[in-house]
Structure 1
Amino acid sequence: MLNDNATSIFDEMHSADGQIRPAYQTLANWLTQKRTHELIALNQKALALFYRKGVSFTVYGESQQTERIIPFDIIPRIIASREWNMLQNGCTQRIRALNAFLYDIYHKRDIIRANLIPEAVVLQNPCYQPWMMNLDLPTAIYAHVSGIDLIRDNDGEYYVLEDNLRTPSGVSYMIEGRLISQRLLGDTLDKNKVLPVDNYPSLLKSCLVENSQIDDPFIVVLTPGRYNSAYYEHTFLAREMGVPLVHGYDLYVENNGVYLRTTSGPKRVDIIYRRIDDDFLDPLVMNPNSVLGVPGLMAAYRSGQVIIANAPGTGVADDKSIYPYVNEMIKFYLGEQPILHNVPTWLCRDKADLDYVLAHLDTLVVKEAQGSGGYGMLIGPKSSKAEIAAYRARILADPAAFIAQPTLALSTCPTCTEEGIAPRHIDLRPFVLSSPDKIRLSAGGLTRVALRDGSLVVNSSQGGGVKDTWVTQENSANSVGQGE
């Protein structure tokens, strides 16, 4: 059961009686040999390595957009193989259902006809793209690349906090973090027999190829440019996959084909791994003021001349107002019981839910249904009366734009601070790659950590950092978590 009682917060490294959990034993032995100043020095080395490589992100909403180096904590988060197998199965099940939902709502809409999800929640969703109706893609996959955000409750049970199906980011931090662990904790990492994550770019490329149904497709990564918060990741993935990183002005459409301008002449593009939002893809049919996309791109897409990953219109499935229905999707499309469960959620579009939320704003977390990055949230227990009153006015102005959840007691993991090793709240984002015949997960994914004492917000834009995530492969003969 979810519980926000701080005295019962789940500790990833220690059991309730203070004993070291088996998966952490080797790491605990290493930590006993390190003094605080040595750990701080290792963290400083990690920061220097990130700085040299330019591993950064951009913070929006300040007087000027600020580029920052992502904070890295040297103490890893460890997941035992049996636990990882369950998470892998749960994320796989969830993405299968979400892709089935996307196919359905752009075709027969069976789940709406079955009255399992209100029609208005889907068709009036800002991310729903009517022009995707009855468009048959080469495969029935809409969300090729996904990120599932997971948290643990006080009993150690995992819950899905949200689904990320548009342009999920963080894999570059996952891989770069592992390189730091190999450099600074090599012996300890080897002793734990940790599953690799550096094969993610090759798995991503395989996923894109398999979804194209073309033997040797030409792939590009489409970026909005260096001012995007995840620009480092765009360059990283393009480089690691060995494909061009392009801007909208590098591409053009002719006879419904998409072409890349090169010094040797036009090059036909088969797959676009896009890292820009739907609204900016094509100024002819979406935002007419966009200079980031490609005029005519949607005509080429509808004619089947190019693959876009993730598919336009995918965002409707990760909207926070859709999230409460995912368990029903799993039952409806797969005929299975959910392996991973949702956090209880109140939809402010519903009168009863709205009344409850307004009466309990001081105890709840309220989020924008279209929000991301930790922006635009109200954390009731940590907000002033004036902040709550201002947020109440925002909700009343547009109730359908907000959802609310309990204030969660995210699990904690030992983290290096200036005062020594201390618990800090964490979450987990496994990355899921979906193809017609297989679904692959990165081994563990990205652990985000709230570096501020007592903070529950792990987003890097809100002062959070990252940890390496170690999935041990001991006793895991059947636990291939990163594909073939």
Structure 2
Amino acid sequence: MAFDWRNYRCDAAYDELFAASGAPRPAARSLVEYLQSLSPRDLADRRLAADLAIKVMGITFTVYSEGKNVDRAWPFDIIPRVIPKKEWETTEKGLKQRVDALNHFIQDVYGKQQIVKDGIFPAEILAESVNFRKQCVGVKPKHGIWAHICGSDLVRDGDGTLYVLEDNLRVPSGVSYMLENRGVIKRIWPELFQTTNILPVDDYAAQLYDTLVAISPRPGDAPNVVLLTPGIYNSAYFEHAYLAQQMGVELVEGSDLTVGDDDCVYMRTIDGPKRVDVIYRRIDDLFLDPDVFNPDSILGAKGLMRAWIAGKVGLANAPGAGVADDKVVYAYVPQMIKYYLGEDAILPNVPSYLCFDKKQRDYVIANLDKLVVKPANESGGYGMMIGPRVGKEEHAKFKALIEGNPRNYMAQPTLSLSTAPTICDDEIEPRHLDLRPFILSRGESTYVTTGGLTRVALVKGSLIVNSSQGGGSKDTWIVDIDDDTPGVVTSPAAAAQTQSQSQEGTL
């Protein structure tokens, strides 16, 4: 392999490691200097070591392809994404603010719906929400928290602005890969953790466990927490098993749980039934309880909703939290922050056009070739259209979809997502990426991961970073640097040239 920094160009978008001048950004300086000091053979060996570690550690992800479940090794790039600590502190405050407002909103819409009565949030959006659960009306979970675990997707535009792209409040996934990425990167770049002040991420499992314990109906006792999985054929099963193991809790399926006449949940064990206090459920609402939702579901357990409403078990995330996991509802989060918290949003939304509004719908239809069109409740990048990347046939298809169900569609400008150097075959090239931090809410406090899961579009020019559609990932470094640290003035090309000359005849 012949990796060569002299060929790296980052002119088309904001690059996470390099400024437009080609100089490394201050927080990435030590990383870039080190990478540029390596020979192509060294870099290739590190990449091979990472691939081997992923296989040995069994880090996998299931992709659904042609009706089959394909288990594959987790796709990982060894060049980290770097964010300065000072910027991250502001981002962390913005994420906490956002999740706080979203929890207020969910509690409100299942209660008095005051935000609707006050004309801040349109009644028709709520009326047609596919994730509004009438069974949750009048319920108030412990601490008033519905979304205990949230994954908000962040993207950076060409001018460096960090936007919230969407919020995931049903069953957000990916945090295990964030943690495993760090484990792999420590194996292959141990020397960088000695010379760079990289903030740790390894307290997540403990923080998650504390968040779950906080919603136990028996706070005075040692609560019994379980993780409810759909089973081994789910695409995120690796994560389910990983988190259960890291927290030291049982991994269960619906057939392992029963609800007694006392409305308590019990887990089958070889010693007989054992009461369950908290369920971290990784299955969708509609499969949670066949007595209340889908009667054909075998993934959940009969009576779970009854037990939750009676306050005999904690569920995370709470049923019904998905009412805020909607790309149309997303557009109103800045107004929610102002309404519930009396504050301006710290993190901006991507400008959005809501197709249920005729004026905005007409604009979207007239500009399909310039916009990204998304369905309200799909995930994983499915069902969306990137207007500039498709032809007139696809534009006509989405025009019909929008006109047939305006409430279900929204559109946004096509952002020039930021890039980072990524090893692709025999070259180091810029690839677009996003970031999914994870936020844990437990009432009296909120925790945000140090960085998050950086997802990378491995196909050149692609904006689709989702792992379910072939995307990869990077470790995310939050680096604490002195604000007065000067940036390196040497360009990647010049530094690589100097290195090449100094090691001429040895590569």
Bin the TM-score by the shorter chain.
Answer: over 0.9
Could you tell me which residue of structure 2 aligns to residue 17 of structure 1? 21
Match of 1:436, SS?
coil
Could you tell me which residue of structure 1 aligns to residue 184 of structure 2? 180
Query: One-letter code of the match for 1:27?
Result: L
Q: What's the C-alpha RMSD, in Å, of the aligned pairs?
A: 1.5
Identify if the C-alpha distance between structure 1 residues 37 and 396 changes in structure 2 by more than 3 Å, giving closer, same or farther: farther
Identify if the C-alpha distance between structure 1 residues 46 and 386 changes in structure 2 by more than 3 Å, giving closer, same or farther: same
For the pair shown, the structure with the greater C-alpha radius of gyration is 2
Note if 1:189 corresponds to 2:196.
no
Deviation at 1:35, TM superposition (A): 3.5
Residue 305 (structure 2) aligned to one of 298, 323, 326: 298
Deviation at 1:8, TM superposition (A): 5.3
Could you tell me which residue of structure 1 aligns to residue 83 of structure 2? 79
For residues 274-303 of structure 1, give each alpha carbon's deviation from its aligned partner in whole angstroms, at most 9, with x where no partner exists. Answer: 000000000111011111010111111111
Deviation at 1:125, TM superposition (A): 0.5
Note if 1:407 corresponds to 2:411.
no
Note if 1:143 corresponds to 2:147.
yes
Could you tell me which residue of structure 2 aligns to residue 346 of structure 1? 353
Could you tell me which residue of structure 1 aligns to residue 279 of structure 2? 272
Match of 2:226, SS?
strand
Deviation at 1:87, TM superposition (A): 0.6
Contact 2:376 2:410 (8 Å CA) reproduced:
yes
Contact 1:40 1:416 (8 Å CA) reproduced:
no
Give TM-score, length-normalised by structure 2: 0.90
Deviation at 1:354, TM superposition (A): 1.6
Match of 1:122, SS?
helix
- 1:65-214 matches, cutoff 5 A: 65-212=69-216, 214=219
Could you tell me which residue of structure 1 aligns to residue 486 of structure 2? none
Give TM-score, length-normalised by structure 1: 0.95
Residue 321 (structure 1) aligned to one of 328, 340, 355: 328
Note if 1:429 corresponds to 2:433.
no
Deviation at 1:387, TM superposition (A): 2.3
Contact 1:40 1:418 (8 Å CA) reproduced:
no
Query: One-letter code of the match for 1:391?
Result: F
CA distance in 2, matches of 1:68, 1:62: 15
CA distance in 2, matches of 1:123, 1:355: 23
Could you tell me which residue of structure 2 aligns to residue 241 of structure 1? 247
CA distance in 2, matches of 1:373, 1:140: 29
For residues 348-379 of structure 1, give each alpha carbon's deviation from its aligned partner in whole angstroms, at most 9, with x where no partner exists. Answer: 12211221111111111111111100111111
CA distance in 1, matches of 2:54, 2:97: 35
For residues 44-85 of structure 1, give each alpha carbon's deviation from its aligned partner in whole angstroms, at most 9, with x where no partner exists. Answer: 322222222221222225231222222100000111110110
CA distance in 1, matches of 2:165, 2:339: 21
Residue 369 (structure 1) aligned to one of 362, 376, 382: 376
Residue 230 (structure 2) aligned to one of 201, 224, 231: 224
CA distance in 1, matches of 2:41, 2:405: 50
CA distance in 2, matches of 1:54, 1:13: 30
Contact 2:128 2:407 (8 Å CA) reproduced:
no
Identify if the C-alpha distance between structure 1 residues 146 and 73 changes in structure 2 by more than 3 Å, giving closer, same or farther: same
- 1:453-468 matches, cutoff 5 A: 453-468=460-475
Deviation at 1:7, TM superposition (A): 5.5
Residue 382 (structure 1) aligned to one of 371, 379, 389: 389
Query: One-letter code of the match for 2:294?
Result: N
Identify if the C-alpha distance between structure 1 residues 12 and 51 changes in structure 2 by more than 3 Å, giving closer, same or farther: same
Identify which range, 19-28 or 388-397, moves more after superposition: 388-397
Note if 1:330 corresponds to 2:337.
yes
Match of 1:212, SS?
coil
Match of 1:83, SS?
helix
Deviation at 1:39, TM superposition (A): 2.6
Match of 2:429, SS?
strand
For residues 17-41 of structure 1, give each alpha carbon's deviation from its aligned partner in whole angstroms, at most 9, with x where no partner exists. Answer: 2221111111111111223443343
CA distance in 2, matches of 1:402, 1:67: 32
CA distance in 1, matches of 2:469, 2:274: 41
Deviation at 1:475, TM superposition (A): 5.3
Match of 1:65, SS?
strand
Match of 1:139, SS?
helix
Query: One-letter code of the match for 2:230?
Result: P
CA distance in 1, matches of 2:44, 2:398: 39
Deviation at 1:244, TM superposition (A): 0.2
Identify which range, 444-453 or 385-394, moves more after superposition: 385-394
Match of 1:308, SS?
strand
- 1:53-72 matches, cutoff 5 A: 53-60=57-64, 62-72=66-76
For residues 197-254 of structure 1, give each alpha carbon's deviation from its aligned partner in whole angstroms, at most 9, with x where no partner exists. Answer: 1111011001111233613211000000111111100000000000000000000010
CA distance in 2, matches of 1:371, 1:35: 44
Residue 46 (structure 2) aligned to one of 42, 45, 55: 42
CA distance in 2, matches of 1:88, 1:135: 29
Contact 1:103 1:142 (8 Å CA) reproduced:
yes
Deviation at 1:417, TM superposition (A): 1.4
CA distance in 2, matches of 1:245, 1:136: 27
CA distance in 2, matches of 1:81, 1:142: 29
Contact 1:373 1:461 (8 Å CA) reproduced:
yes
Contact 2:11 2:20 (8 Å CA) reproduced:
no
CA distance in 2, matches of 1:435, 1:421: 42
CA distance in 1, matches of 2:40, 2:232: 37
- 1:470-481 matches, cutoff 5 A: 470-474=477-481
For residues 254-291 of structure 1, give each alpha carbon's deviation from its aligned partner in whole angstroms, at most 9, with x where no partner exists. Answer: 02110000001100000000000000000111011111
CA distance in 2, matches of 1:53, 1:207: 27
Unpaired segments of 5 or more residues in structure 2? 1-9, 484-507
CA distance in 2, matches of 1:61, 1:104: 40
CA distance in 1, matches of 2:115, 2:211: 28
Match of 1:29, SS?
helix
CA distance in 1, matches of 2:64, 2:460: 23
CA distance in 2, matches of 1:7, 1:358: 31
Contact 2:148 2:317 (8 Å CA) reproduced:
yes
CA distance in 2, matches of 1:431, 1:304: 26
Unpaired segments of 5 or more residues in structure 1? 1-5, 477-484
CA distance in 2, matches of 1:471, 1:9: 21
CA distance in 2, matches of 1:61, 1:376: 16
Query: One-letter code of the match for 2:451?
Result: G
CA distance in 2, matches of 1:435, 1:471: 24
Could you tell me which residue of structure 2 aligns to residue 481 of structure 1? none
CA distance in 1, matches of 2:46, 2:404: 49
